[in-house]
Amino acid sequence: MNIPTIGGARGIFEIFVPGMFLLLNLGIVVYMFPYTDNETKNLIATAASSPAIALVIVVGFGYLIGVLLRLLRTESPDQWSAAWLRKFDADARQENGQFKLWATEDFPYIGWMAEVCKEYLPPDAQAFYDEVWAKRKRAGQNKEFFNYCKVLINSKDERAANEIYAAESLTRYMSGMFYALVVAFILILVTIPLRYFLASQLTIGLVIILIAYLVAIVEIIQHFRFIRIKEVQTVFTATFQNKELFRQAWQYSLRESD
């Protein structure tokens, strides 16, 4: 995995923002935790009131936490999203009661792309899929082929590569925010009853934040699979747009295998 530099545009959206979000929540929870001593609270308050110190902490630790979140598996929220849709989304079922492929297949949904080409795209797209993508379908995931497509597009078509990166960036951002929200939700969920029973304080603001985070988590779960399907469709469209490049690569690999 390439780790974008903090000074570059890449990484700010999908790495730094989730990390900064979780860092701020950690600071709030530590400050309001009943067992936190006054010295620690004063240290947090001093850091928050000093723009220079706050900037160093947010940039340094926010980016670090964001990278750690980025290392977590994107497949987990994707699989949970699919499970949610199979349970609650009526559109996930066919007329015969079986689940549709988009609700069951693993990323990068190569089988589902066959149905997309057949039902919604022109015949040329179907022919290209049969020639290149269909041969890469495997039991389980085939990230290697998907990453190969992205690298090849990136080397030849900058505009399409930017579209792919934008779609991937949104997926990574939603994944990072999902994990950040879950961690923040658990921390606040523990803090609220502790403050109530140990300090006899019910912090309404924390309760409101807790509810907001729960709503955000549910929203991500409901839509994450569709966001990732959109990422795959973007990559497929980019490969179809550069179909001659992939056909040449495919024909070359066949000659090498002979």
Q: In terms of DSSP H, where are the helices of the chain? A: 17-32, 38-49, 51-71, 75-88, 110-120, 123-128, 143-156, 158-199, 204-241, 243-257
Structure tokens at 86: 């199979």
List the domain boundaries for the chain: 1-71, 74-257
Cα distance between residue 102 and residue 112, in whole Å? 6
Are the CB atoms for 149 and 135 separated by under 8 Å? no
User: What is the Cα–Cα distance from 72 to 65, expressed in whole angstroms?
Assistant: 11
Residue type, 54: A
Rounded to 10 deg, the angle between the 143-156 and 204-241 helix axes is 70
**Each residue's pLDDT tens digit, 75-115:** 999 999 999 999 999 999 988 889 999 999 999 999 999 99
Q: Rounded mean pLDDT of 224-248?
A: 91
DSSP calls for 124-162: HHHHHIIIIIGGG--SS--HHHHHHHHHHHHHH-HHHHH
Mean pLDDT computed over 57-76:
90
CA trace torsion 155, 158, 164, 167 (10° rounding): 150
Integer Cα distance of 160 and 238 in angstroms:
6
Q: What is the C-alpha radius of gyration for the chain, rounded to an integer number of angstroms?
A: 23
- The pTM for the full model equals 0.87
pLDDT single digits (tens) 198-232: 877 788 989 999 999 999 999 999 999 999 999 99
Average pLDDT of the chain? 87
